[in-house]
């Protein structure tokens, strides 16, 4: 039975020029390159320049994705941006990108699910396409987490970076089988009883300040591996597939130890896992689309391959997307 699928037409990414190696932290903080690498697998990250905002990075990634898709911004129906670090309280980053791209029609909005944001945005975009509300949707993950770091906390401030990634989704008719191209299934979850494990201690209503990131790393790690493997399994089941069908896992790039432990739990060898955390650190909602775009530029993907994307972030919120190229 034929059905509408959300097919991936283009990918792109943007990174700030400034690269911060682990060694730079050694000059002013009690830490070492070896300690950071052993705990996280991170070797370097990018930090936004003064005055460079989330919407700037999102716009650059959007232009790259549109160029990759061979499409003009005016042909888009919607823009969905996943971010926890917007330029301003409002309007949304998505409307800023819409304005920057010169797109006068359609609609744009932000999604906030922290590090799981891109998965949540993809699921929302897929629903818009399947329901007929949009035919072409630009989905972006963009962050400037360097702006919410506590530079006194050496256990967290070395883990995060800035960047953006974007994809273009388009409605296409499929046969309704797991062999179709496009998004085959999504799985979303959250549990607000864990909100104190990872949060920012400021905000409009509570403190009228931006605040800084606070994380109970060990607890987050404990939840991450189990929940990531489970959500991937659930999404695959929804698609009528299993772990044996996976060509690539594109995980949220938070920590190499989490990535490896989740792959082991899913029985996926590391040579089928896209890993960019060493170069970007944790870019929150930007990490999956950034990893997708980098992997594509490295020639890793082949049409017809099955991708599983999974992420977990503050909330806690977690989920997965199963997509065929």
Q: Is 301 left (phi over 0), alpha (psi -120 to 50) or beta?
A: beta
Indicate if the alpha-carbon torsion angle 142, 262, 158, 299 is positive or negative.
negative
| Residue 94 dihedral angles phi and psi, to the nearest 5° | -60, -40
Task: Catalogue the active-site residues.
Answer: 115, 252, 282
CB 140 within 8 A of CB 61: yes
Q: Write a three-state SS string for the chain.
A: CCEEEEEEEEEEEECCCEEEEHHHHHCCCCCCHHHHHHHHCCCEEEECCCCCCHHHHHHHHHHHHHHHHCCCHHHCCEEEEECCCCCCCCCCHHHHHHHHCCCCCCEEEEECCHHHHHHHHHHHHHHHHHCCCCCEEEEEEEEEHHHHCCCCCCCCCCCECEEEEEEEEEEEEECCCCCCCEEEEEEEEECHHHHHHEEECCECCCCCECCCEEECHHHHHHHHHHHHHHHHHHHHHHHCCCHHHCCEEEECCCCHHHHHHHHHHCCCCHHHECCCHHHHCECHHHHHHHHHHHHHHCCCCCCCCEEEEEEEECCCEEEEEEEEC
For the purposes of burial, counting CB atoms within 10 Å of the CB of 132, is it exposed (0-12), middle (13-18) or buried (19 or more)?
Answer: exposed
Beta-bridge mates of residue 249: 273, 308
């Amino acid at each position: 039975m034929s059905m509408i699928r959300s097919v991936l037409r283009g990918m792109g990414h943007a990174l700030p020029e400034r690269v911060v190696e682990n060694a730079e932290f050694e000059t002013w903080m009690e830490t070492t390159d070896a300690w950071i690498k052993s705990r996280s697998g991170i070797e370097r990250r990018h930090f936004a320049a003064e005055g460079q905002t989330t919407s700037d990075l999102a716009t650059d990634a959007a232009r790259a994705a549109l160029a990759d898709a061979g499409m003009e911004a005016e042909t888009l129906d919607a823009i969905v941006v996943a971010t926890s670090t917007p330029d301003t309280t409002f309007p949304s980053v998505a409307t800023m990108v819409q304005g920057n791209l010169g797109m006068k029609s359609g609609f744009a909005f932000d999604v906030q699910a922290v590090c799981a944001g891109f998965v949540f945005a993809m699921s929302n975009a897929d629903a818009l396409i399947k329901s007929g509300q949009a035919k072409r949707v630009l989905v972006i993950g963009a962050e400037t987490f360097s702006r919410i770091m506590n530079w006194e906390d050496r256990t967290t401030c070395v883990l995060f970076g800035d960047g953006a990634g974007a994809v273009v989704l388009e409605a296409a008719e499929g046969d309704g089988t797991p062999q179709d191209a496009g998004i085959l299934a999504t799985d979303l979850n959250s549990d607000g009883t864990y909100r104190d494990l990872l949060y920012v201690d400021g905000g409009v209503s509570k403190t009228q300040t931006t605040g800084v990131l606070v994380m109970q790393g060990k607890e987050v790690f404990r939840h991450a591996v189990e929940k990531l493997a489970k959500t991937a399994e659930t999404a695959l089941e929804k698609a009528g597939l299993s772990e044996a069908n996976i060509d690539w896992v594109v995980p949220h790039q938070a920590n190499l130890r989490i990535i490896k432990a989740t792959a082991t739990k899913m029985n996926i060898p590391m040579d089928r896992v896209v890993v960019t955390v060493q170069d970007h650190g944790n870019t929150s909602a930007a990490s999956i689309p950034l990893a997708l775009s980098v992997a594509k530029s490295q020639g890793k993907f082949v049409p017809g391959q099955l991708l599983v994307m999974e992420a977990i972030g503050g909330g806690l919120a977690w989920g997965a997307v199963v997509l065929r190229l």
